[in-house]
Amino acid sequence: MTFWLNGAFREETRAIDVADRGFLLGDGVFETILLVDGVPAFWDAHRARLDDALEALRFPVRSDAFALTAARELAARARADAGAGVLRLTVARGPAGRGLAPPVPAEAAPTLLMTAQAMAPYPDEPAALVVSKVRRSSASLSSRFKTATYLDNLMARGDAAAAGADDALMLNERGRVVCASAANVFVLKDDATLATPPVGEGALPGTVRALLLARGAEAGFAVREAALAPAELSGRALILTNSLMGVRPAVIGGVAAPTRADALLSRLQMWYRAVLTEDVEQRARQL
């Protein structure tokens, strides 16, 4: 496997320091980015979110440490440049002395890792959801950003797997729906209105989520943030969104979404794919 670590392409995978706080304490952040024929999709949005996380966690590095050209070359070297692939940017605090205090600035040596791999397409069927018992802490930085402190999400996904489902909805400490283990959730409130929980409820500010909120009107939907009780999902069409799956219909508790919603959600998916294609084509021209 070829990967990129702190500026160099590498093959020997035993490369992370045993004292890296990313490994010892979950002290890191990451982005998962869709590759379309080796071109990172929505690169600017991912970089902006990564910068927000790096600033919030007081990392002494910013997203410009990951060059688009290096990402593109990595995709080719990792044979993830045909069809769909996944690019992961990881920033960990790096090696440090014992204890919880981060290294002083003069000794900080963050770990910058980029990996790429091919990805099988998501199935066409709706994702089957269950409700996880794991509660998401609305005010935690690990809810607000994609951090290496991911155990709650892993446990929620485990709940789903144990129930034979694809993913699990997570509720926050007030019992309200916030997101799935690694996806945002939207509910079709009526034929033209989609609602998704606010970031303040503990929802990750996903890149596809932000796109739908900003531009969903182009697909004929009023898209807004709203606190959601679990009961409000019942009998309604749902979608999951994230960078890799894009817009994916979902059903909860094995109950199929109303059929009339299918055409509406297809329209949204088509619009999303067009926006994605436009972004990737524009990016490809920079390369």
Per-residue burial over 118-147, b = 16 or more CB atoms within 10 Å of its CB, e = otherwise: eeeeeeeebbbbbbbebbbebeeebbbbbb
> How many binding residues for a copy of itself (CB under 8 A)?
58
Site for a copy of itself (CB under 8 A): which residue of 71, 148, 165, 213? 148
d(CA 146, CA 52): 10
Give yes or no for residue 73 binding a copy of itself (CB under 8 A).
no
The answer to whether the beta carbons of residues 66 and 109 sit under 8 Å apart is no
DSSP of 158-213, one letter per residue?
HHHHHTT-SEEEEEETTS-EEEESSSEEEEEEETTEEEE--GGGT----HHHHHHH
Q: Which stretch binds a copy of itself (CB under 8 A): 44-52, 66-74, 138-146, 233-241?
A: 138-146
In whole angstroms, how close is the CB of 158 to a copy of itself at the nearest point? 8
Closer residue to a copy of itself, CB minimum distance, 46 or 264? 46
In whole angstroms, how close is the CB of 191 to a copy of itself at the nearest point? 33
Q: Which stretch binds a copy of itself (CB under 8 A): 35-43, 59-67, 128-136, 187-195?
A: 128-136
Give yes or no for residue 250 binding a copy of itself (CB under 8 A).
no
Cα angle value 63/118/38 (rounded, 5°): 55
Site for a copy of itself (CB under 8 A): which residue of 153, 196, 207, 242? 153
Give yes or no for residue 219 binding a copy of itself (CB under 8 A).
no
d(CA 153, CA 160): 11
Instruction: Give, as one character, the DSSP assignment of residue 121.
Output: P
Type of residue found at 2 = T
In whole angstroms, how close is the CB of 60 to a copy of itself at the nearest point? 14
Site for a copy of itself (CB under 8 A): which residue of 37, 44, 55, 58? 58
Site for a copy of itself (CB under 8 A): which residue of 25, 61, 210, 261? 25
Give yes or no for residue 2 binding a copy of itself (CB under 8 A).
no
Site for a copy of itself (CB under 8 A): which residue of 1, 82, 222, 229? 1
Site for a copy of itself (CB under 8 A): which residue of 49, 157, 209, 283? 157
Give yes or no for residue 101 binding a copy of itself (CB under 8 A).
yes
Give yes or no for residue 61 binding a copy of itself (CB under 8 A).
no
Q: Is the dihedral of CA 178, 239, 87, 68 positive or negative?
A: negative
d(CA 118, CA 84): 6
Closer residue to a copy of itself, CB minimum distance, 162 or 229? 162
Cβ neighbours around 149 below 10 Å, total: 17
Site for a copy of itself (CB under 8 A): which residue of 45, 59, 115, 176? 115
DSSP β-bridge partners for residue 242: 246
In whole angstroms, how close is the CB of 259 to a copy of itself at the nearest point? 31
Cβ neighbours around 218 below 10 Å, total: 14
Taking alpha carbons only, the member of 269, 274, 257, 263 closest to residue 187 is 257
DSSP β-bridge partners for residue 35: 40, 85
Which residues in this chain contact a copy of itself in the complex, by CB under 8 A?
1, 3, 5, 13-20, 22-28, 30, 57-58, 86, 88, 90, 92, 95, 98, 100-102, 113, 115, 117, 119, 133-137, 139-142, 147-155, 157-158, 161, 173, 181-182
